[in-house]
Amino acid sequence: MTIDPRTYGAKADGTTNDAAAIQQAIDACEVNGGGTVRLTDGAFLSGTLFLKSNVYLNVAASARLVASPNIADYSPNVHHNRYRNETNIDRCFIYAEDAHDFGLIGHGMIEGQAEAFPNEGSIYRPMMIRVLRCSNVHIENLRLYNAAAWTTAFLDSEYIWVRGVDIKNDKHYNGDGLDFDGCAHVFVSDCYVRGTDDNFCLQASSKALPVHDVHVTNCEFSGICAGIRIGLKSIGDIRSVTISNCTFDRVWREGIKIESTEGGTISDISVSNIVMRNVTRPIFVILNNRFEPDEFGTSIELNHVPAIGHLENVDISHLTAVDDEEMANTHMRFTDDVMGSPRFNGIRFDAADGHSISGVTLSDIRYTFIGGVTKADIPSDDEYPKVLDRLVAPHGKSSENYYPDWSRTSFMDLRNVADLQLRNIRLKTLRDDERPAILTDGCDDMVADNIRVNGKAWA
């Protein structure tokens, strides 16, 4: 069955709150075994909507589903806190819990009205979509614009398809695009994502469900922070992830970032056929341990410093990363948050002594970096900190994602990587750079073949 919410009194005038009418239509479909609620011809203003099993909400090209600017229109019963710093974004616009075989489809727009929910002050900012313990979820062909916080959060769910979605979330902090935590059997394809934080984020903030069988292909990512982030939240395991045929444009920190930091194992990651333009650090991979309850991002289930986990079997091939003159600049998030500059760059793998990242292949890579960094621009090499095991060395500066804010090398800094293979790599600077091109510390079993730096063989 197909229901128009106007049947239940929806006005679609952009000013009347149509939440009750839309929800009645959703509930009526569910009672009758499933169906479609179709929004057409107008702007449907709404607070929190609850999606149900076997029901699809279809926003037609002629329609907009618009988030109410009034925080009182959002239910307080839609939160499932996974992060210590998430308490101020507990509400959400569209919510599903313990549902199956449902989705958001159509060629219309869902508008989050981010401007109504400023970063400052005590006002809560609703996420656009939150899905908890669901299966067989489809989000297809929609425009998801201007969320007040994250665009999506999929939690402890499986069999998720996100296809042909256009996401723009660049008005505020926490401008994430697609976030998956504790999810399996994820298929993301043919999407455009632009935001102020992670465009695509895959995490395991609990041991309850291993994250596995994740597919990302034919997408474009553009953002102030990371294009693709795997980990940081890594209490549980993350495995069997493939990323292919994607482009990254104007990403002011990392293109692809992999972080095993909370005791779990991240393994079996394949990245291939990637093109990046103006990405500050094309690849960043780190294995460490952290518990920082006063800092952003620590998983709420983590209550101690964990033993360092494992990070293994990472294959990155056919990657082209190219800078142009734009990358000679320092890039900011909004007015005062530095994201990247020429001295903070490169492909970097790093781990604590005795806990090597294992089984890494970097092949068929072409990296053209703006260069121009002098030794006077950075501290001396002996000041570059190691990654510390916080169970052994709880104090002192440890090398992390955001520290230090400079790189030792022009292109590749590889430290404590076991079973490392480098093949067919072309590296070039647009301007002379005084740092070493490549450093390999603690990579004693490395195999390197056909590597050229500015046209000359590297040895």
Note the pLDDT of residue 119. 72
On the 0-12 / 13-18 / 19+ scale of CB atoms within 10 A, 444 is: exposed
Note the pLDDT of residue 157. 98
3-state SS record for 410-445:
CCEEEECEEEEEEEEEEEEEEECCCCCCEEEECCCC
The residues of the chain scoring below 70 in pLDDT are 120-122, 294-297, 381
Give me the half-sphere count of Cα atoms (radius 13 Å) on the Cβ side of residue 346: 24
- Phi and psi dihedrals of 26, rounded to 5? -60, -45
For 179, the 3-state DSSP assignment is strand
Note the pLDDT of residue 296. 60
Note the pLDDT of residue 123. 72
Helices (H), 47-114: none
For 84, the 3-state DSSP assignment is coil
Q: What span, in angstroms and rounded, lies between the C-alpha atoms of 266 and 240? A: 9
Please give the structure tokens belonging to residue 35: 């169906």
Question: Hey, how many other C-beta atoms are within 10 angstroms of the C-beta on 137?
Answer: 24
CB 61 within 8 A of CB 108: yes
Query: What pTM did the predictor assign?
Result: 0.96
Note the pLDDT of residue 297. 61
Q: Where do the domains of the chain lie?
A: 198-457
